[in-house]
C-alpha cells in the first residue's frame, strides 16, 4: 500500500491525536535528521566519484567548489590547479555536479577530437540553454538519444551548407570588398577601429544570412545584437554569482522570471505580437525580399518542408550566424591591433614579405596566401595568443562513461577545454605571452610539436567545432594581411606628448573575451599605399551597393506588443 493510501485509511482523529502526542518538535527533528541523512548520502556519492575522477579541490556538500571560484577570469584558476595537481585534467564541482577541465593540448586532442563520437553531446545547461538559447539549439543540443542525434545531424548539415569550408569560398568577393572598406574607413577615422571591425564582421554575416549589408557602424543590428551577445557572454562565465549560481541551486530557476531578479531576465520566452522571435522574423523578411536568392535565410525556407524545420530551428540557425561570425571575428581583429602595437618588431618581417610579394599598387588578396608564409604565421599567432573563445565555447559531455589515464569521466559530465591554459603551456609555447609568429614558421627554432595541423585550438574540437571556423579564418587572414600591409600601428600620445602604454592582459571577463578599450595611432605606411586604399575602397563600395537595404525590425522594440 502506498504511503498516501495508508494515511488516507487512518481515522482523522487518530492522526491528530498521534501528531499531538508525538509533538511538533519531534516532527521537526525527524525532518531535519532525514534531510541530514540525505545530504550525507549525497556527499558520500560525491566523494566516491571524486576518488575515481581527475584530481581537484575538495568539494563541500551541496555547493561543491562553487564558492572557491574566483570573481573574474576563472580560466586562470583552472590553469593554476592543473599545475598544482600536476595533472592535465582537473575536476571542479559546481554544486553537486563535477566539471572536468582539460588544460593540455594532447589530452584535449585525445578526448575531444580522437574520441569525438563519445564527447559529441552537451550536458544539461540550465543558464545558457534551458533559460537562454534553448537546449534544442545546435550549439547546446544534447545528443544522447537516436532522435536527438538525428536532429543534430540535420541542423549541423544545414549550418555547414551555410558556412562550411566549401561554401565560404563563394563569399570571398564580398568579404574581400568589406575588408577593403575597413581599410578605407581607417583613413578617415582610425580611432574608431573597433566600430569598423564590428561593422565589417556583422556586415559579412548579414549578407550571408539575410542578403543585406550593414554599412553604418551605428546600425541597430550591431549596437543591439552585439550588446546582447556581450551580455550573454558575461553572464555565462562559471562563477559564484547569479545567474550562474543557478547551476549550483537549480531549484531557484523554477521561480517565475517576473518574481526572480536573480535570473537576470533569463527564462522569459519572448515572442512578438506576430508570435515569432527576432531572428526568425529577420529570416522571414529576407525570404520575402526580391533578389539575393543564395542568402542563407532563403535556403532555410526552401529546405523547411524537406527537414520539417520548426520556426525555432530557423531562428536558431539564422541567429547562430551572428554568434559564429560577428562578435568573435571583430574581437580577433582588435587583438591583432593590440599585438601590432605591443610587439612592433613582429611587423618588420611582415612588411618585408608584403612589399616583396604584393607591393604598393594593390592590397593583398586570397591568391597571395601561399606566397605569404610569415603573414599566415602572424594570423595563427593572433588566434593562439589571445583566443576569443577562451574556454573553448560550450562544454562537451560524454554519451557514456569514459576513462583517461585511469580516471573516470562519468556520462553527461561537463567537460571543458581551457583554451587559455592550452595555448599558454610552456612546453608548446615558451614565453607564451610574447606575441611571436615564428612559432608557426616551418623549421623555426621557436616551433614546437602540437597536435593537429593548424597548431591552435581556438575554434573547439570534434563534432562541436565552431561552425563559423572557415569563415572566420578566411576573413581574419585577409583583413589582418591588409591591415599590416596598409598601416603603421604606433603608440598614441597623451596631452603632454608621451606614449600611452597598452596592457596585454587587460581583457573583458566574458566567455568571448576581447581587449578592453585602448588607444593607438594608426596611419598609412606610405602615400602610394594610401591612394591604393582609397581607390580600392571606393570600388568596393560600388560593388557592395547591390546588398544595400533596410530591415523594419529592431531588437530593442521587437517584443513590444502592438
348: CATH = 1.10.630.10
Domain-located, residue 14: no
As for how many domains the chain has, the answer is 1
Locate 294 and state its grid cell.
543564395
- Predicted TM-score (pTM) of this structure: 0.93
Query: Which residue from 368, 346, 365, 349 is spatially nearest to 357, judged by alpha carbons?
Result: 368
Domain-located, residue 372: yes
Residue 209 · residue 296 · CB < 8 Å: yes
Domain-located, residue 22: no
pLDDT for residue 21: 52
Domain-located, residue 74: no
Describe the chain by its helix, strand, coil percentages, rounded to 5: 55, 10, 35
Question: Could you report the per-residue pLDDT of 72-102, keeping only the tens digit for each?
Answer: 999 999 999 999 999 999 999 999 999 999 9
Locate 41 and state its grid cell.
548520502
pLDDT for residue 243: 93
Positions at the binding site for heme? 466
Query: What is the C-alpha end-to-end distance of the chain, expressed in Å?
Result: 55
Helix spans in 164-277 (H)? 172-188, 193-210, 220-223, 225-235
Domain-located, residue 67: no
pLDDT for residue 275: 52
The DSSP 8-state label assigned to residue 114 in this structure reads: I
- Quote the domain boundaries for residue 283: 148-558
User: Residue ranges of the chain with pLDDT lower than 70?
Assistant: 1-22, 269-275, 324, 561-562
Domain-located, residue 502: yes
Positions at the binding site? 466
The verdict on whether omega for the bond into residue 243 sits within 30 degrees of 0, i.e. cis, is yes
Domain-located, residue 152: yes
Domain-located, residue 2: no
Amino acid at each position: 500500500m502506498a504511503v498516501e493510501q495508508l494515511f488516507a485509511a487512518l481515522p482523522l482523529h487518530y492522526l491528530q491525536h498521534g501528531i499531538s502526542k508525538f509533538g511538533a518538535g519531534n516532527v521537526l527533528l525527524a525532518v531535519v535528521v532525514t534531510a541530514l541523512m540525505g545530504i550525507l548520502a549525497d556527499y558520500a556519492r560525491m566523494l566516491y566519484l571524486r576518488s575515481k575522477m581527475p584530481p581537484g579541490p575538495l568539494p563541500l556538500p551541496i555547493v561543491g567548489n562553487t564558492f572557491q571560484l574566483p570573481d573574474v577570469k576563472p580560466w586562470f584558476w583552472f590553469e593554476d590547479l592543473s599545475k598544482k595537481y600536476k595533472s592535465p585534467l582537473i575536476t571542479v564541482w559546481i554544486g553537486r555536479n563535477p566539471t572536468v577541465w582539460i588544460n593540455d593540448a594532447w589530452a584535449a586532442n585525445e578526448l575531444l577530437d580522437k574520441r569525438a563520437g563519445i564527447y559529441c553531446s552537451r550536458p544539461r545547461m540550465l543558464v545558457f540553454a534551458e533559460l537562454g538559447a534553448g537546449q534544442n539549439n545546435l550549439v547546446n543540443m544534447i545528443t544522447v538519444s537516436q532522435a536527438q542525434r538525428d536532429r543534430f545531424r540535420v541542423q549541423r548539415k544545414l549550418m555547414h551548407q551555410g558556412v562550411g569550408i566549401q561554401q565560404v569560398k563563394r563569399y570571398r568577393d564580398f568579404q574581400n570588398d568589406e575588408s577593403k572598406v575597413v581599410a578605407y574607413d581607417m583613413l578617415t577615422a582610425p580611432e574608431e577601429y573597433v566600430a569598423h571591425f564590428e561593422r565589417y564582421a556583422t556586415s559579412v554575416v548579414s549578407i550571408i544570412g539575410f542578403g543585406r549589408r550593414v554599412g553604418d557602424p551605428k546600425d541597430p543590428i550591431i549596437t543591439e545584437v552585439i550588446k546582447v551577445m556581450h551580455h550573454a557572454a558575461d553572464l555565462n562565465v562559471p562563477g559564484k554569482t547569479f545567474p550562474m549560481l543557478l547551476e549550483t541551486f537549480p531549484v531557484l530557476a523554477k521561480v517565475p522570471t517576473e518574481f526572480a531578479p536573480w535570473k537576470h531576465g533569463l527564462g522569459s520566452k519572448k515572442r512578438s505580437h506576430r508570435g515569432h522571435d527576432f531572428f526568425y522574423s529577420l529570416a522571414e523578411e529576407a525570404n520575402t525580399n526580391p533578389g539575393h536568392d543564395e542568402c542563407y535565410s532563403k535556403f532555410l525556407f526552401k529546405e523547411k518542408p524537406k527537414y520539417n524545420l520548426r520556426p525555432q530551428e530557423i531562428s536558431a540557425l539564422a541567429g547562430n550566424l551572428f554568434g559564429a561570425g560577428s562578435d568573435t571575428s571583430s574581437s580577433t581583429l582588435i587583438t591583432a591591433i593590440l599585438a601590432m602595437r605591443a610587439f612592433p618588431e613582429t611587423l618588420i618581417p611582415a612588411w618585408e614579405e608584403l612589399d616583396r610579394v604584393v607591393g604598393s599598387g594593390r592590397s593583398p588578396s586570397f591568391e597571395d596566401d601561399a606566397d605569404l608564409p610569415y603573414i599566415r604565421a602572424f594570423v595563427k599567432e593572433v588566434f593562439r595568443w589571445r583566443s576569443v573563445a577562451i574556454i573553448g565555447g560550450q562544454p562537451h559531455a560524454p554519451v557514456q562513461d569514459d576513462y583517461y589515464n585511469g580516471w573516470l569521466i562519468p556520462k553527461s559530465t561537463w567537460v571543458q577545454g581551457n583554451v587559455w591554459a592550452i595555448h599558454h603551456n610552456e612546453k608548446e609555447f615558451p614565453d607564451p605571452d610574447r606575441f611571436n609568429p615564428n612559432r608557426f614558421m616551418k623549421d623555426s627554432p621557436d616551433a614546437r610539436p602540437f597536435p593537429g595541423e593548424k597548431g591552435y585550438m581556438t575554434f573547439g574540437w570534434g563534432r562541436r567545432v565552431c561552425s563559423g571556423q572557415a569563415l572566420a579564418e578566411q576573413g581574419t587572414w585577409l583583413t589582418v594581411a591588409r591591415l599590416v600591409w596598409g598601416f603603421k600601428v604606433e603608440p598614441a600620445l597623451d596631452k603632454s606628448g608621451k606614449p600611452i602604454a597598452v596592457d596585454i592582459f587587460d581583457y573583458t571577463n566574458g566567455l568571448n573575451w576581447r581587449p578592453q578599450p585602448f588607444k593607438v595611432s594608426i596611419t598609412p605606411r606610405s602615400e602610394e599605399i594610401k591612394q591604393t586604399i582609397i581607390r580600392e575602397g571606393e570600388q568596393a563600395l560600388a560593388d557592395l551597393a547591390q546588398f544595400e537595404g533596410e530591415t523594419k525590425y529592431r531588437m530593442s522594440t521587437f517584443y513590444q506588443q502592438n
